[in-house]
Chains A and B, each alone.
Chain A
Amino acid sequence: MAATSIASKSIVSKSIYKSGRYANKRQFKNKLAQWLITLGGISVLFTLVLIFLYLLYVIKPIFASAEIEPIQSIETELSAKVFSIGIDELKELAYFIDGQGLINFYQIEESDFRDVGSKVLSQALLLDDVDNTKLKLLVDGSDKKLLIDNHNRIHLISPEFSASYIGDQRDIIPAITYPLGEESLVIDEQAEPIENIAFAMNDELAVFVAFTKDHRLIKTTFTAEDDFNYDPAYETQYQQISFQEKQVDRILVTPDLAMAFVQSGNKVFVYSLDDEDDVPLKALINPVGTTNMRSSAKELPTKELTSMALLSGGSSILFGNSQGEVTQWFEVATDNGREFKQIRHFEVSNNEAITNIFTEKYRKSFYTITASGEIGLFYTTSEADLWRGNLLGVQPTAFSIAPRADGLLMMKGQNLQLFSVENEHPEVTWQALWQEVWYEGYPEPDYIWQSSSGSDDFEAKFSLVPISFGTLKAAMYAMLFAVPIALSSAIYTAYFMTPALRKKVKPTIEMMEALPTVILGFLAGLWLAPLIENYLPAIVLLLVFLPAATLLTAFSWHKLPEKMKKRLPETLAPIILIPVLILAAYIAFTLSPVLEIHFFGGDIRQFITNDMGINFDQRNALVVGIAMGFAVIPTVFSMAEDAIFSVPKHLTSGSLALGATSWQTLIKVVLLTASPGIFSAVMMGLGRAVGETMIVLMATGNTPILDWSIFQGMRTLAANIAVEMPESEVGSSHYRILFLAAFVLFVFTFVFNTVAEFVRQRLREKYSSL
Chain B
Amino acid sequence: MRVIQNIVGLLLLVQASIAFAVLDIEIIGAGEKQIPVAIVPMGGDDKLSQTIHEVVVGDLQRSGLFRMVDLAGKLLTEPSQVSYADWQVRGAEGLAIGNVTALPNGRIEARFRLFDVVKQAELVAQAVSASDGQVRAIGHRIADLIYEKMTGDKGVFSTRIAYVNRRGQNFRLIVADSDGYNEQVVLAQNEPIMSPAWSPDGSHLAYVSFETGHAVVFVQSLYTNQRKVLADFRGSNSAPAWSPDGKQMAIVLTRDGSSQIYLVRPDGSNLRRITFSGAIDTEPNFSPDGQSLLFTSDRGGSAQIYRMPVEGGPEQRMTFGEGSNYSPRHSPDGSGFVFAHRNNGKFYIALQDFQTGQMELLTEGGWEKRPSFAPNGKLVLFASEARGRGILATVSSDGRVKQHMFTQSGDAREPVWGPNP
The answer on A and B forming one complex is no
